[in-house]
Chains A and B, each alone.
Chain A
Amino acid sequence: DQQVKQNSPSLSVQEGRISILNCDYTNSMFDYFLWYKKYPAEGPTFLISISSIKDKNEDGRFTVFLNKSAKHLSLHIVPSQPGDSAVYFCAASEGGIDKLIFGTGTRLQVFP
C-alpha cells in the first residue's frame, strides 16, 4: 500500500518556465511533508518542507503548496534552471520526522 504517490515518473520543462511536481498521500494523519532532490550517485538533498498547519511555504525559487482536503502537495520551481534536473522525492511523516514515507520520485529534466 503506497501511502505517498508521485504519479508522474518524469517531467520535462523548458529553462525559465515553471516546473510543477505533484504528490498525493492517503494517510490523513501525516502532518509534515518534505521535498528532496537527488542527483545520480548522491543522497537526497533536502529542499523544502511544510507543516500541516500551513498551506504554503516559500524558499527562493521553490514553493510548496499543501491541500489537506485533497491530500495533495505540489512543488513549484520558478524559474526552472538546467541545474534543477534531478529526481525529486516527496516524503511525509506523522508526529515528527522519525519515520519518513517516500514517494517513488519524479525525474525532472530542464532543457535550454
Chain B
Amino acid sequence: GAVVSQHPSRVICKSGTSVKIECRSLDFQATTMFWYRQFPKQSLMLMATSNEGSKATYEQGVEKDKFLINHASLTLSTLTVTSAHPEDSSFYICSVRRRGPEIQYFGAGTRLSVL
C-alpha cells in the first residue's frame, strides 16, 4: 500500500493565486520530508527539505518566500505556491525518508497548471 499520500493530484489555477499541496506520511512518523519539482523532460530536482518543528532548508535558487513549507506534525508537510505564475507550472512531488534501510518514499505528485 501507499506509504505517502499527496493531495491534490492536479490543480489548475489562475495566475496570482496561491496553491497548497499536502503530503502525508501514512506508515511512520517522518521528521524529514522532501519537496521536488520536475519540469517536462527533466529530472526531479530537490527544492527543499522540510523539517518537523523547524524551518525548511531550501536549495539554491529556490525562493523561500514563494514556496512556503510547513511541517507542523510528524505526518504532514505542506507546500504553498504563493502568487503562482505560469512559469510555476510543473509537477511537484514530495517524499519521506525512512532509515534502516535508507529509502525515500514518494507521493504520487501534483500537477500544477497556472493559467
| Interface residues of A, Cβ cutoff 8 Å to B | 2, 4, 32, 34, 36, 41-46, 49, 89, 96-105
Determine whether the beta carbon of A41 is less than 8 Å from that of B9: yes
- For chain B, which range describes its interface: under 10, 10 to 19, 20 to 34, or 35 or more residues? 20 to 34
Contact A49-B102, Cβ < 8 Å, known A42-B108, A43-B4: yes
Determine whether the beta carbon of A46 is less than 8 Å from that of B102: no
B-side contacts of A99, CB under 8 Å: 46, 49
Partner of B41, one of A4, A103, A104: A104
Within the complex, what minimum Cβ distance (angstroms) separates A61 from chain B? 19
Interface 1/0s, chain B 48-84, versus A by CB < 8 A?
0100000000000000000000000000000000000
B-side contacts of A32, CB under 8 Å: 102
11 contacts between A and B (CB under 8 A): A41-B108, A43-B4, A45-B106, A46-B103, A46-B104, A49-B103, A96-B102, A98-B32, A100-B46, A100-B104, A105-B43
Within the complex, what minimum Cβ distance (angstroms) separates A58 from chain B? 15
Report Cα–Cα, A107/B81, bound state, in Å.
30
Closest to A6 in B: B43
